[in-house]
Structure 1
């Protein structure tokens, strides 16, 4: 083995623990004690015998002991260096995964916002309200076809128009409230006419203040007016707005004539995302906690915008929004999507590791060029694990496993060769035999060989303990990383399914759907199919959307290519339909867990359903059901792939991640060969019987290999309770 002379973590490095420094001093002290003993033995050989051969034999034994001692001194220095290098590398990989997944969570969330604002802008009650408001603003709109009263046309006097507008505003505000109650991620939604006047809002608490407010100079309003068609939107990055006291993240798009995606621009819809609330959840959930649920000292997480300024942080008092954070400049100016950076610097008076990862966007959403930053104490990367579970694997097995980097395994093998107690004992036995051959004069060698045996045994025993500790630390650090990845996987899926539950509840309230189910002409169903197609074009994560009448017969769907196959098909026996027909409140929804669906050519489906209530009311009888077929594989696999364990951005050998349902069946997997979708998993009972929000780690045998595993059971997200799934992340150690 070639020993590197470049030592990064020498024993005087401040990150070296007191216990390790003491162990190092003890080992080297004992090893250095052997050299004078060996010199004494060489001198004694000259005293007790004149036989050159005997003298050479004694010298050879002493030199063997010296060689072993000298090798151990060198290897001990390398051992501690490599131990801390391995911990550093592993900690950096874990920290990088945390920073990356944190920004991914936000990007996936913001993609949903782009879908939301484009679809909501087509709502009939919104364009009707804007159209009439524009009539009161001279020269801002052409004549409207909206009826002012039961028997009066648009050219009625101003009082009638104002009266009609008041009614339309009430309806628009109610619809905006319904959106906000379904999608609790928004602080407010505002409807604005062409003059820039706010005419309807979702938030009751701020409505009185905002109605009539003019925001015509705000960027999000101006840019929305420039959009070409209903597929375009604008996002105003985190900044000040007249609409609220806090910084705002506002998505906007144009309201178009008659709700036509290609229609003329007649107003603007702006949605104020609860950015701080969502980011606080994401940032704080990613940080380790003490037993009281408080974030550990020295750990921080925050986002910066493309100007390098903080937009949200886990500790807003210490890292306030709007300011440039005290991190190296290179972390604030990452140039390309997906760039990342590691540095150490003093932060909050502590020597810290700083990890930064720039947004990559998600799907067709390019993102806002934000960067995620994670700060953690350098000391936390090298902390010892006092409480170690017994997983039935020996330190020797661990040191030869894939958990330990190759260079560390080589050092371990070198230590084994040089600290074999049998070799040292054999040298002592040979020395004792030789001393016996020398007769009475040879007795003076006995204390020398006894001391060599005693010192060698003590040293090798300490080295074995250190090796055991190293392997145990690496195991615990890896298990901790697997648990953390499983938490992130289940949180990502829960956040996404929260959106699905919100989508189906809101879409079910569309007046076009309930009207078609009341008046069952083919022409009405064609209109419904077109409406569904518009939704599906904005929300590409759905394979299809269907409307089902009260008899369980599909009467309309979004995807033209599926229309002939689905039209008239009965789904009355399917769980999602039966759940939908039981719905009596617009806040309720149904869901059929992941399964194979004959409606989609046996593709695996996750189907959410909403009751289409009479007259689009919040409470009423279900006239039929809206079913949305979620593209399960397209969502689950990227999430799982992002949570597979990695080192230096490469997936580790034998690494995999998968979701299981309440029956312990795999419903999605990154390794179909070894952890096949549809199969039940044989993993430790503790990993299968977790309670809501719980996590655990373990070890198991599968496919002829030993695996370690981290698992987390869903705790839901906001008001969404989840489907009792569990995320598992594994890696083989053989």
Structure 2
């Protein structure tokens, strides 16, 4: 609507200036006629004296109209520039606010998705097969745990793999041993997900790590969740191991940033991103930007600004239920003027 109003105002200015130009041409012809009339009146002598007065008056009126038209044209030109500037600011403000809403919506959708992941890890850590494998890691218990993890993975296709590590940080079972052959036996004692998972306060607690690429999972982008596996699956039981679950990040995140509601013109001039708390790009409609730092300088939880001639709109994660979020931002970068 704002763009239509601006277009109408500019079109009215254009038409008015064109009509003033036509009036200038008429006044020019009038001045020429007035000059010719005075010349003819001079030739006529005394008989043309009264006609000369009329011709001179015509010339005066023509000059006044020409001066007025020039003044009007100057005013219109200045106001047209002001209208265009105001319209540009209005358009940027409207689009910036809309993009900020969409950016926040993108990170909200992801948070709702990740909230479910936090529920999954706490639930599966109490599974009897998982608990038995961590407490008494015999061959039968480990085989049963592997089968159980594989069953979960067949139902929950958003995960790449699920790992059980003992208290020392050695992986003792995973759900896809045929695909990821080098996982069992791996030392993960220095991995963040293991260390922090082992230190969780109780069975209601969990850990989520920043999105990273995992060499053990074929270099895939993963969001890793973990929690301690506790004796007898009790909420306050002793930690006997750690369950790590690896969310297949890239396809899920891509679906969210590509699903944002933009027009075809906006989509061709925009980039939709998810940024972590360090402003690293963790998802984007622009290929190849994963891990790059984006120069976002938020002044609030929601807003927009101009950066290098582009609108940069953003929204901070509000979290979802018991999932507080990780300080991530949804972000949309778009050309200030569409079509360029």
Q: TM-score range by the shorter chain?
A: 0.7 to 0.9
Any idea what the Cα deviations from partners look like across 1:386-421, whole Å, max 9, x if unmatched? xxxxxxxxxxxxxxxxxxxxxxxxxxxxxxxxxxxx
Counterpart Cα distance in 1 of 2:148 and 2:89 = 59
Any idea what the Cα deviations from partners look like across 1:309-328, whole Å, max 9, x if unmatched? xxxxxxxxxxxxxxxxxxxx
1:646 equivalenced with 2:259 (yes/no)? no
1:682 equivalenced with 2:298 (yes/no)? no
Q: Which of 163, 181, 188 is matched with 1:564 structurally?
A: 181
1:547 equivalenced with 2:182 (yes/no)? no
| Contact 1:608–1:628 (8 Å) recurs in 2 | yes
Q: Which of 128, 131, 136 is matched with 1:511 structurally?
A: 128
| Contact 1:656–1:670 (8 Å) recurs in 2 | yes
Counterpart Cα distance in 2 of 1:21 and 1:654 = 24
Give the match for residue 672 of structure 1.
Answer: 287
Offset of 1:487 from its aligned partner? 1.0
Could you say what secondary structure the match of 2:187 adopts?
A: coil
Distance 1:672 1:563, change over 3 A: closer
- 1:161-180 matches, within 5 Å, as none
TM-score (norm 2): 0.82
Q: Which of 696, 699, 714 is matched with 2:303 structurally?
A: 696
Give the match for residue 151 of structure 1.
Answer: none
Distance 1:20 1:657, change over 3 A: closer
Could you say what secondary structure the match of 2:178 adopts?
A: helix
Number of equivalenced pairs: 320
Counterpart Cα distance in 1 of 2:222 and 2:13 = 63
Q: Which segments of 5 or more consecutive residues in structure 1 lack a partner in the other structure? A: 1-8, 10-15, 53-437
Structure 1 or 2, whichever has the larger Rg, is 2
Distance 1:700 1:515, change over 3 A: same
Counterpart Cα distance in 2 of 1:484 and 1:713 = 10
| Contact 2:9–2:83 (8 Å) recurs in 1 | no
Counterpart Cα distance in 2 of 1:591 and 1:563 = 22
Could you say what secondary structure the match of 2:121 adopts?
A: helix
- 1:207-222 matches, within 5 Å, as none
The structure in which a higher percent of residues are helix is: 2
- 1:372-411 matches, within 5 Å, as none
Give the match for residue 633 of structure 1.
Answer: 250
| Contact 1:579–1:591 (8 Å) recurs in 2 | no
Could you say what secondary structure the match of 2:209 adopts?
A: strand
| Contact 1:664–1:681 (8 Å) recurs in 2 | yes
Counterpart Cα distance in 2 of 1:493 and 1:598 = 24
Any idea what the Cα deviations from partners look like across 1:185-237, whole Å, max 9, x if unmatched? xxxxxxxxxxxxxxxxxxxxxxxxxxxxxxxxxxxxxxxxxxxxxxxxxxxxx
Give the match for residue 272 of structure 2.
Answer: 657
Counterpart Cα distance in 1 of 2:199 and 2:116 = 21
Counterpart Cα distance in 1 of 2:90 and 2:78 = 18
Where relative contact order (Cα < 8 A, 6+ residues apart) is larger, the structure is 2
- 1:36-115 matches, within 5 Å, as 42-43=29-30, 45-50=32-37
Q: Which segments of 5 or more consecutive residues in structure 2 lack a partner in the other structure? A: 40-54
Counterpart Cα distance in 1 of 2:322 and 2:231 = 25
Counterpart Cα distance in 1 of 2:220 and 2:23 = 77
